[in-house]
A and B are shown apart, each in its own frame.
Chain A
Amino acid sequence: MALLLDIVGWSLLALGSVMLLIGGIGLVRLPEVFSRMHAAGIIDTLGAGAILAGLMIEAGLTLVTVKLALIVIFILFTSPTATHALARAALHGGVRLPQDRPGAPEDELPGPGEQSSKT
């Protein structure tokens, strides 16, 4: 049983490291801001999450695990929110989505008073 837990823990750590590297390469090589946000998301959730989860399994039931769980929950809450704020800023700042580039219609975010048709 302990061996099984150990294997799961180490494999999570390995998976997390691979995800970090993939995300990092994506951050450098992808062509466009919004695509890179996907890569950063992989780093944050899959990478950090898997590594911290692996650490949690390795640590067993101690205070360390509780704190690690808190960190994971926090990252899972805040990282997508921060990316969302950033994406909104980018969109309002004028960075065009790739499919919108050549003479596409205006973006569909509702103005302050209008109702969105698909809330």
Chain B
Amino acid sequence: MGFMAVTGFAVARLRNLFAVVMLTGIFSLTAAMLYVVLDAVDVAFTEAAVGAGISTVLLLSTLALTTSEEKTVNTGDSHWALALVVATGCVLVYGTLDMPPFGDPTAAIHNYVAPYYLEKSGAQTGIPNVVTSILASYRGYDTLGEVFVIFTASVGVLLIIGRPKFGRRRTHRFAAGELRDSMRQNVILRVVSKLLIPFIMVFALYVQWHGDFGPGGGFQAGVIFAAGYILYTLIFDVDTARMVVPAGATRLCLGLGVLLYAGVGVVSLLMGGDFLDYSVLADDPVKGQHLGILLIEFGVGLTVAAAMIAIFFTFARQER
């Protein structure tokens, strides 16, 4: 935690934005390690994939479009602000003093909510990983909302900076000298990434389907898949990457994932249960739960992967 404090302080004070981006990477990594120590592996997984990887890449893309030095802001007398922040912090800490100590067996959360899920989850959903079962089934509606948030964020980015300016048509291909302005000339990177990317994709699929038994699930898998594709785009530029995955496929997958998720809910409605009640999807309620969880996790993975790729592409294809 000392690392986090030092890094956070440095992030706020350094003016060089690039250094700040690097340090946010370290910050995310330390946060993820904290989660690991707290035994929350799924959260650590997602924090690692998103915070340390994708966020850094996206922040860098933003830096490529803007300046790399933070403008000195003249805030004048900021003592009041500091006092206010410290006071709020003290109030918050004072509020937490009343809470039971961490891990206290008599705490309310350990006696009513958690044991219910821990005991019932195995029998009702048939999958060992309680995190996934809570996320996908007991709180499936929340997760649908999360997927919609990711979808909306991606659509927002596409709307705001998706299209190039009207009337600009660039038709030149790679000239001889321009090939230098690219990483594809670099043999080592080309070969290694071509070796690695299939494994990354397979690993993404493994994480996706293994989410029932270990840490993983749709969000993490989508991010890993997107990371593999982003690696490809980094080494071989946007043109080649676009030839691999046709234009519009990303947009399609973006909507398809959400549609799949909501569709499962509607099918449950049509088959006589509540919205997103997977028990009615198959003859055996447990099998139905399992099937439903698999399907919606896949929907989540699709949308997350498509969203990450779309946002990255939108940033990368901009000119300064």
Which A residues contact B (CB, under 8 angstroms)?
77-78, 81, 84-85, 88, 111-113
CB atoms of A77 and B195 under 8 A apart: yes
**Residue ID in chain A nearest B177 by CB atoms:** A112
Query: Which residue of A85, A111, A112, A113 contacts B189 across the interface (Cβ within 8 Å)?
Result: A85
Number of interface residues of B (CB under 8 A): 12
CB atoms of A88 and B186 under 8 A apart: yes
Rounded to whole angstroms, the CA-CA distance of A85 and B186 in the bound complex is 9
CB atoms of B177 and A81 under 8 A apart: no
A–B pairs, 9, beta carbons within 8 Å? A77-B196, A78-B196, A81-B188, A88-B186, A111-B180, A112-B179, A112-B180, A112-B185, A113-B176
A88 surroundings in chain B (CB, below 8 A) = 186
A81 surroundings in chain B (CB, below 8 A) = 188-189, 192
Known: A81-B189, A85-B189. 6 other contacts (CB 8 A): A78-B192, A84-B189, A85-B183, A88-B186, A112-B177, A112-B179
What sequence of 0s and 1s flags, for each residue 181-209 of chain B, a beta carbon within 8 Å of any chain A beta carbon? 00101101100100110000000000000
CB atoms of A84 and B188 under 8 A apart: yes
- A-B pairs with lowest CB-CB distance, top 3: A81-B192, A112-B180, A112-B179
Rounded to whole angstroms, the CA-CA distance of A78 and B186 in the bound complex is 15
CB atoms of A112 and B176 under 8 A apart: yes
B179 surroundings in chain A (CB, below 8 A) = 112
How many whole Å from A111's CB to the nearest CB in chain B? 7
B185 surroundings in chain A (CB, below 8 A) = 112
CB atoms of A77 and B192 under 8 A apart: yes
**Residue ID in chain B nearest A88 by CB atoms:** B186
Rounded to whole angstroms, the CA-CA distance of A81 and B183 in the bound complex is 13
Rounded to whole angstroms, the CA-CA distance of A84 and B195 in the bound complex is 16
**Residue ID in chain A nearest B185 by CB atoms:** A112
Rounded to whole angstroms, the CA-CA distance of A88 and B185 in the bound complex is 12
B192 surroundings in chain A (CB, below 8 A) = 77-78, 81
How many whole Å from B250's CB to the nearest CB in chain A? 26
How many whole Å from B210's CB to the nearest CB in chain A? 12
B196 surroundings in chain A (CB, below 8 A) = 77-78
A111 surroundings in chain B (CB, below 8 A) = 180
**Residue ID in chain A nearest B186 by CB atoms:** A88
How many whole Å from A24's CB to the nearest CB in chain B? 14
A85 surroundings in chain B (CB, below 8 A) = 183, 186, 189
Rounded to whole angstroms, the CA-CA distance of A112 and B192 in the bound complex is 21
How many whole Å from B249's CB to the nearest CB in chain A? 28
Rounded to whole angstroms, the CA-CA distance of A112 and B176 in the bound complex is 7
**Residue ID in chain B nearest A92 by CB atoms:** B180
